[in-house]
A and B are shown apart, each in its own frame.
Chain A
């Protein structure tokens, strides 16, 4: 199982490699900056969904070893979120911090996106083994529930952004909701199991 991690890592880099390739060949369409913004945003929400899917898949498929991918996927979600945020900061706002503060404060969809991003920062910082040790398993787990906030805020950000065709944000919202439902369902269905799992320090 261990050999599969490097290829998966490389696979996760394909979207950004493709973006760089298209940018190099000036093949990003009429509005390249919008294209980059949308692509990096899409991959952020996709990786958030993938990360959230790891624990349910472990249980459904009885493959506990899938846990080894969770941190990597989570960090890729953060990686694409950083690219997305940088695109906004640099290519959309040209580091005009006055305008950015106004945006975050005035525009609900930016507020939601900013919230989703900020909530990911402590998760990325404390993603190392050292931080898990320092915080202790249960506190670390509690902190990392912030991913739920990120996912919801990310979907809301997308939903509030689109003008009228809400199919994609609704799709991601449904996926996130299903992934939440699995967790909630488990909480009610088998309380004993939940406790067992919690003691092993991976409730998610």
Chain B
């Protein structure tokens, strides 16, 4: 299947027209960064891909949660043009024998890029299917050699007050932080992601480097990473800081544990009318359930 099958040309053109109608976003399209953002990204077929139909590109790029660029779903696509993704580097620190600052180009050369078509389930009960491009997070982790003290990995997003929403308005703390237990981070499903739909990540989807953790709610898949720190204790995570009763550290997709304000039993796949049942671990139980053996998933939600 070609991507033109997923996103008909009329939709692309429609999007152009839509963007052109907005002075700010229209300008963003003509900047070098924006042209670079549409650059193709070659990848080989990777494992774990679903054969479900990918969600149209237009939906995945205009319906985003990226609160740094606004809390409305359409705002990141309108505002993220200001994000400068090159040059970009990631600081690696903490319990590693090789703390360092890695250039994005150097990271991308660590392993062959793979395309993996994953289901992606938001805590807000909608879902998408996305052909991501990247390689396992464990490639980078192994390269920096964590010490025995490294029990968790903490991630931090870029935050620039000059052009991003203030934390006061967003209602969550910035910079956005996330974390994983070491064995979760080492799991082959956990993807360090640089692109999607055959091209580099659009800014609103977390350019230039993000995580994709398909068995967890979407907010765990942190965007626009600038720092990775290896730590001994469970690190703070943004949504948990904001509301610990509603968002746990693990946040594995679990239809049996409702969000206090809405059911998690079903989800709406973008582009579909009816709802579909949500699967434990978003359908990746065979791969990841063993990570949580013996844990009470109602307690560690």
Set A31, A33, A109, A164: member contacting B261, Cβ < 8 A: A109
* Alpha-carbon separation in the docked complex, A162 to B263 (Å): 15
Contact in complex: B172, A30 (CB < 8 Å) = no
- Chain B residues lying within 8 Å of A167, measured Cβ to Cβ, are 169
* B62 close to A160 (CB less than 8 A): no
B7 within 8 Å of A (CB atoms): no
Say yes or no: B73 contacts A164, CB within 8 Å.
no
CA distance A165 to B242 in the complex (A): 11
- With an 8 A cutoff between CB atoms, is A163 at the interface? yes
Contact A30 B59 (CB under 8 A): yes
Beta-carbon contact of B268 and A164 below 8 Å: no
Bound state CA distance, A61 and B242, in angstroms? 44
When the two chains form their complex, are residues B274 and A94 in contact, meaning their CB atoms are under 8 A apart?
A: yes
For residue B284, CB closer than 8 A to chain A, the reply is no
Known: A164-B67, A164-B71, A165-B170. A107 touches B261 (CB 8 A): yes
Interface membership of chain B positions 136-175, coded 1 if the CB is closer than 8 angstroms to chain A and 0 otherwise: 0000000000000000000000000000000001111000
A160-B261, A164-B71, A165-B71 in contact; A30/B58 too (CB < 8 A)? yes
Confirm or deny: A29 has a beta carbon within 8 angstroms of a beta carbon on chain B. Answer: yes
Instruction: List A contacts of B63 (CB < 8 A).
Output: 29-31
Q: Would you list which residues of chain B between 184 and 242 have a CB under 8 Å from chain A? A: 242
**A29 and B169 contacting across the interface, CB-CB below 8 Å:** no
List, in ascending order, chain A residues with CB within 8 A of B58's CB.
Answer: 30
The answer on a CB contact under 8 Å between A165 and B261 is: no
Q: Cβ of A165 and Cβ of B262 under 8 Å apart?
A: no
* Chain B residues whose CB sits within 8 angstroms of the CB of A33 once the complex forms: 268, 273
**When A30-B270, A164-B170, A164-B242 are in contact, do A99 and B263 touch as well, CB less than 8 Å?**
yes
Whether the pair A31, B73 counts as a contact (CB closer than 8 A) is yes
Which residues, 122 to 181 on A, are CB-close (under 8 Å) to B? 160-167
| Contacts known (A109-B261, A164-B171, A164-B172); A30 close to B73, Cβ less than 8 A | yes
Name A91's closest neighbour in chain B (CB-CB). B273
Smallest beta-carbon distance A160→chain B, Å: 7
Instruction: Report the interface size for chain A: residues with CB under 8 A from the other chain.
Output: 19
Minimum CB–CB distance for A24 against chain B, Å: 15
User: Using Cβ atoms and an 8 Å threshold, which residues of chain A touch B88?
Assistant: none
Task: Give A162 to B169 CA distance when docked, in angstroms.
Answer: 13
Residues of B within 8 A of A108 (CB): 261
The residue in A29, A34, A164 that gathers the most chain B C-beta atoms within 10 A of its C-beta is A164
Interface residues of B in 245-280 (CB under 8 A from A): 260-263, 268, 270-271, 273-275
| Contact present for B262 and A107 (CB under 8 Å) | yes
By a CB distance below 8 angstroms, the chain A residues around B268 are 31, 33
Decide yes or no whether B126 CB sits under 8 A from chain A: yes
In the complex, the answer to whether B242 meets A30 with C-beta atoms within 8 Å is: no
Query: Once bound together, how far apart are the Cα atoms of A166 and B170, in whole Å?
Result: 8
Contacts of B271 in A (CB 8 A): 30
Counting from the closest, the 3 A-B pairs by CB-CB distance are: A164-B171, A30-B63, A30-B59
- Residues of chain B whose beta carbon lies under 8 Å from any beta carbon of chain A: 58-60, 62-63, 67, 71, 73-74, 124, 126, 169-172, 242-243, 260-263, 268, 270-271, 273-275
| 18 residue pairs bridging A and B, Cβ less than 8 Å apart | A29-B62, A29-B63, A30-B60, A30-B271, A31-B73, A31-B126, A33-B268, A33-B273, A34-B126, A94-B274, A99-B263, A108-B261, A160-B261, A161-B261, A163-B71, A165-B71, A165-B169, A165-B171
Residues of A participating in the B interface, judged by any CB pair closer than 8 Å: 29-31, 33-34, 94, 99, 103, 107-109, 160-167
Q: A30-B62, A31-B270, A164-B242 are in contact. List 16 more A-B contacts (CB 8 A).
A: A29-B62, A29-B74, A30-B73, A31-B126, A33-B268, A103-B263, A107-B260, A107-B261, A107-B262, A109-B261, A160-B261, A161-B261, A162-B171, A165-B71, A165-B171, A166-B171
